[in-house]
Amino acid sequence: MRLSNIFNLRHIVFAAIVLFAAIAAWETLIYWRHQHMVFVDGKQLFAQSNATTVSDFLKELKITLDDDDIVEPDLMGPLPRRGMVRIIRVAGKKERTEEELPPELIWRKQYTSNLRPIELQKEIRKKRISDSFTIYYDSAVHNQKIISTRTIKKTVFQLALIGAGGKIEKTYDLNSCKKMRMVATAYYPGDPLAWGDGTVTFLGQKMRRGIIAVDPNVIPLHTRLYVPGYGYGFAGDTGNKIKGKRVDLGVNNKAEEKPFMHKRVTVYILEKADSW
């Protein structure tokens, strides 16, 4: 083959390569000029479009907008070349928050006359309630405005059981406990009117102040009780005449019996327990 022919062939091949590269570069340029990205609802979407405005582009993608949504760049502006369109979902919501404030102890008093030491407490519980309007951008808090704030106060009476070392073992909210209006009588160890010999209870415990005879159909045995004016008690006995809404309060002697005879009392039902 003559050298001139080889030379011409090389030129042709080189020209073909240059032409191919130019076409590829032009197509790549066209592709990227029409390639756009949308960031919406936590996702990145890529799409090609010949749309001229952001609005038309979003319509092509069938992306719906709410009235308060923010579009960047402007919805009616030109679609940026190889730029990103960002949609921020905007939502407003009225909200209410409740915050428990530290309780304020008004008074406390311990009693040791019945079965075990207890402490009565009076405290003020406070709750702060705030109403606000919160604006969310893509589910994240963007702005919050407090509309109103108020504090609710509640007086609470509590009974605390005192355990070893003077530590509070358990606390009962008397406001929340079930309570019953009942007729009370009283009995004492050796009481001649008491069932049996009056010294041993139905549960086999030694009779003492704080033991309360109940009708098990009304108050189950093994129930911790509290009777204002009498104190802490434990349902540990029964009686032939203790039926319905009747209780027989265990006291120390005949002198303590009289104030409770046929007296209407409020009985707070604390809980069932294996022991007092």
CA distances to 12, 79, 205 from 36, rounded to whole Å, are 38, 9, 86
Q: Which amino acid is at 272?
A: K
The reply to whether 99 and 77 lie within a common domain is no
Q: Which amino acid is at 240?
A: N
Please identify, among 55, 70, 89, the residue that sits at the C-terminal boundary of a domain: 89
d(CA 112, CA 108): 14
Work out the end-to-end distance of the chain between its first and last CA atoms, rounded to an integer number of angstroms.
119
> 């509070």: which residue's tokens?
168
CA geometry: angle 96, 98, 100, nearest 5 deg: 170
DSSP SS3 for 55:
helix
The reply to whether 10 and 84 lie within a common domain is yes
Q: Which domain holds residue 37?
A: 3-89
The reply to whether 56 and 137 lie within a common domain is no
pLDDT of residue 195: 55
The reply to whether 168 and 186 lie within a common domain is no
Q: What is the CATH number of the domain that holds 59?
A: 3.10.20.30
pLDDT of residue 27: 42
Count CB-CB contacts under 10 A for residue 170.
13
Q: Taking the model in full, what pTM does it have?
A: 0.65
Please identify, among 172, 188, 206, the residue that sits at the C-terminal boundary of a domain: 172
Q: What is the pLDDT along the chain (276 residues), one digit of tens a residue?
A: 554 555 566 656 555 555 444 444 434 433 444 577 888 898 888 887 788 898 998 898 889 999 999 999 998 999 887 668 899 999 999 999 999 999 999 999 999 999 999 999 999 999 999 999 999 999 999 999 999 999 999 999 999 999 988 999 999 999 999 999 999 999 998 887 765 566 889 999 999 999 999 999 999 999 999 999 999 999 999 988 899 999 999 999 999 999 999 999 999 999 999 999
Retrieve residue 76's tokens. 């009616």
d(CA 1, CA 64): 69
CA distances to 35, 73, 126 from 103, rounded to whole Å, are 62, 53, 6
- The number of distinct structural domains making up the chain is 3
Please identify, among 141, 172, 203, the residue that sits at the C-terminal boundary of a domain: 172
Share of the chain above pLDDT 90, in %: 66
